[in-house]
Structure 1
Amino acid sequence: MDNKTHQGGNAAMNLRDLRYALAVAEHRHFGRAAKLCHISQPTLSTQLRKLEEELGVVLFERTNKSVAATPAGEALLAHARTAVDAADAMLALAQASRDPLRGRLRLGIIPTLAPYLLPLVFGPLRDALPDLVVEPWEDVTTALLDRLRTHDLDAALLATAPETPELESHDLFTEPFLAALPPDHRLAALDRIREEDLAPDVLVLADGHCLRDQALAACGQPGLRAGALRASSLATLMNMVAAGYGTTLIPGLAAGVARDAGITLRPLTNNTGRQINLTFRTTFPRRTTLDAITTLVRTRLSRFAEAAADGAV
């Protein structure tokens, strides 16, 4: 490629050609890339030659048997991926602005809620909003809040109310805590359990889980005794209780799983629980989407909330 060709060039480069180049890089084969791009192989080859002439570098090393990106191609294709992703994001945002109930919604959710709530609401959510693609992201509260602030998430299902003016929330439902006991535990004979009676052998989640702090506060424990067991997930915590290692508090939606594990559950005398909310940035433009999700979750969980109020979870 001569200097004249290179200097003449930067008007024709477009996203279509960048997508072609990315397809070839991914599949390392012109025929397969052309098929996926819905064009003929000669057309694909011609467009990539034009792109290379325009950039003034060879993007791919071609042989009869293989195609591989050159070192310069690797570097440029990374920028091509960024450009294509940014363009796709712009199109998705524009579409969502025209119709907020279409497109994707990146939804964070805490690990002590995700396995129990999602099966209850995702099916009805798809039925009610078929053009909305919800992408769940499971993580602890602090990480989800950070991702909300950096716009990596659109909203999050949390059990902690936001305390900064940049975030706000919709209350969804109150989830009661239940005392979880080994079947032969001394407290299992009681109809209701005082939270503080769990303190001597209460097990909690590891640091970072809001349920850990909520359980300790409910049991009147400012911290844990030396050597106390901590679990990295609610499933592990329940298995530890079932094996007789101690007691714990579990959120009400996990009651079915806990019973299946052989755990004895009892309501608490103080009806301790947590408020589940949908948290989002105050500047988030698609309020209609969040309102629709809020209404659906509240409706789906209304009977659960009523049962919780009666101590019948």
Structure 2
Amino acid sequence: MTNSLDLEHLRTLIAIAECGGFSKAAAVRHISQPALSQHVRLLEKGLKRKLFERDGRTMRFTPEGEKVLAEARTILEVHDAAIRRLNAVQGSTIVVGSTEHSAEQILPEMLRSLDEAFPDSSTRFEIGRSTQLIEAVGRGAVDLAFVLDPSEQGPGRTVGRLNLAWYAAQNWVAPGSDEPLSLVAFEEPCGLRERALSALAAQGHRVEVSAQSTTLEGVLAGVRAGLGVALLPSAGGLPRGLVERGDLPDAGAVNLQLITRRGLRPEITDTALRAGTQFYRDRPHLQLVSEQRDVVGA
């Protein structure tokens, strides 16, 4: 058993739990996925216990891993509180929120921009659903956030615009005219869910929500299992194991908005807006439905 625990390795463990996976946690921690995996291996080696186990195509915490995760949260809370009491923190912390749809794309670019513009400040990221992030910004827990706005009437400033596309498992078969169409969606409240229901109803489809989840990974898992179709932003790549359905109604596009808390320094807002808009300006394919995708029924 190890005599000490590396604080950065513990932060990695917490990031995996909060982000729901290794790849998103690596983006938030601004390290490569192999480096993140190495953090986990070193923790497992030092503690002589397995922290993760495979569940299908994903990894989940073992019961021992859950115990270590709880201890990691306690250790870091005590450590960070002590640092604050000793006035050892230099500069401020900028808390940036992002939806799962845009986390892997925008956050690394945002980290670089904020580090360059504010070298005396640190950056912390929060990954969540748009509704949660809007609430967090409203109460001041998050400084700025990139959120989806299916209503096109939400707060903030537009960073980019993403087409919406229908996705299904490769072997999914559309129901007959006398059968309801199965939809996999985010739990309410969710603007994408409402957009999907409205678009399908406008074409006379009867819809049944066959599965729902609070996370993007959960929605994708339900679609891969053949439980139904999902309406998601078309963000530059076809989700693994899925096809795009061109035989379902056009659901339009969705804005990616930058929202900021009241009182945030204007230069921070301007830096974030420039970084976000430049990211999409340099990558126009992210705002277009790729012609090379496997589109079924088009």
What secondary structure sits across from 2:122 in the alignment? strand
For residues 50-109 of structure 1, what are the alpha-carbon distances to aligned partners after superposition, in whole Å with 9 as ceiling and x for unaligned?
A: xxxxxxxxxxxxxxxxxxxxxxxxxxxx9xx69x569789x84xxxxxxxxxx4211122
What secondary structure sits across from 1:295 in the alignment? helix
Whether the 8 Å CA contact 1:175–1:305 is kept in 2: the answer is no
Query: Which ranges of structure 2 fall in alignment gaps of 5 or more residues?
Result: 1-77, 175-179, 294-298
Q: Which of 105, 113, 120 in structure 1 is aligned with 2:94?
A: 105
- Matched with 1:152 is 141
Sequence identity (%): 14
- Matched with 2:117 is 129
Following TM superposition, by how much is the alpha carbon of 1:300 offset from its aligned partner in structure 2, in angstroms? 1.4
- Matched with 1:215 is 196
Distance 1:227 1:271 in 2: 17
Q: Which of 156, 171, 175 in structure 1 is aligned with 2:158?
A: 171
Following TM superposition, by how much is the alpha carbon of 1:239 offset from its aligned partner in structure 2, in angstroms? 2.2
Distance 1:184 1:247 in 2: 12
Query: Which ranges of structure 1 fall in alignment gaps of 5 or more residues?
Result: 1-77, 93-102, 188-198
1:277 to 2:264 alignment: no
- Matched with 1:264 is 243
Following TM superposition, by how much is the alpha carbon of 1:303 offset from its aligned partner in structure 2, in angstroms? 4.6
- Matched with 1:243 is 225
What secondary structure sits across from 2:181 in the alignment? helix
RMSD of equivalent CA atoms? 4.0
Distance 2:94 2:290 in 1: 35
Following TM superposition, by how much is the alpha carbon of 1:213 offset from its aligned partner in structure 2, in angstroms? 2.7
List aligned pairs for 1:20-59, cutoff 5 A.
Answer: none
List aligned pairs for 1:287-302, cutoff 5 A.
Answer: 287-302=266-281
What secondary structure sits across from 2:93 in the alignment? strand
Distance 1:236 1:200 in 2: 19
1:234 to 2:223 alignment: no
TM-score by length of 1: 0.53
Closer/same/farther in 2, CA of residues 236 and 300 from structure 1, 3 Å limit: same
Closer/same/farther in 2, CA of residues 186 and 285 from structure 1, 3 Å limit: closer
What secondary structure sits across from 1:152 in the alignment? coil
Give the residue type in structure 2 aligned to 1:215: A
What secondary structure sits across from 1:207 in the alignment? coil
Following TM superposition, by how much is the alpha carbon of 1:174 offset from its aligned partner in structure 2, in angstroms? 0.4
- Matched with 1:185 is 172
Closer/same/farther in 2, CA of residues 124 and 227 from structure 1, 3 Å limit: closer
Distance 2:228 2:153 in 1: 34
Structure (1/2) with the larger helix percentage: 1
Following TM superposition, by how much is the alpha carbon of 1:110 offset from its aligned partner in structure 2, in angstroms? 2.6
Q: Which of 179, 200, 221 in structure 1 is aligned with 2:181?
A: 200
Following TM superposition, by how much is the alpha carbon of 1:186 offset from its aligned partner in structure 2, in angstroms? 4.4
Give the residue type in structure 2 aligned to 1:205: F
Whether the 8 Å CA contact 2:152–2:254 is kept in 1: the answer is no
Give the residue type in structure 2 aligned to 1:180: Y
Give the residue type in structure 2 aligned to 1:270: D
Following TM superposition, by how much is the alpha carbon of 1:214 offset from its aligned partner in structure 2, in angstroms? 3.1
1:308 to 2:295 alignment: no
Structure (1/2) with the larger strand percentage: 2
Number of paired residues? Answer: 205
The structure having more radius of gyration, on CA atoms, is 1
Distance 1:284 1:292 in 2: 15
Give the residue type in structure 1 aligned to 2:215: S
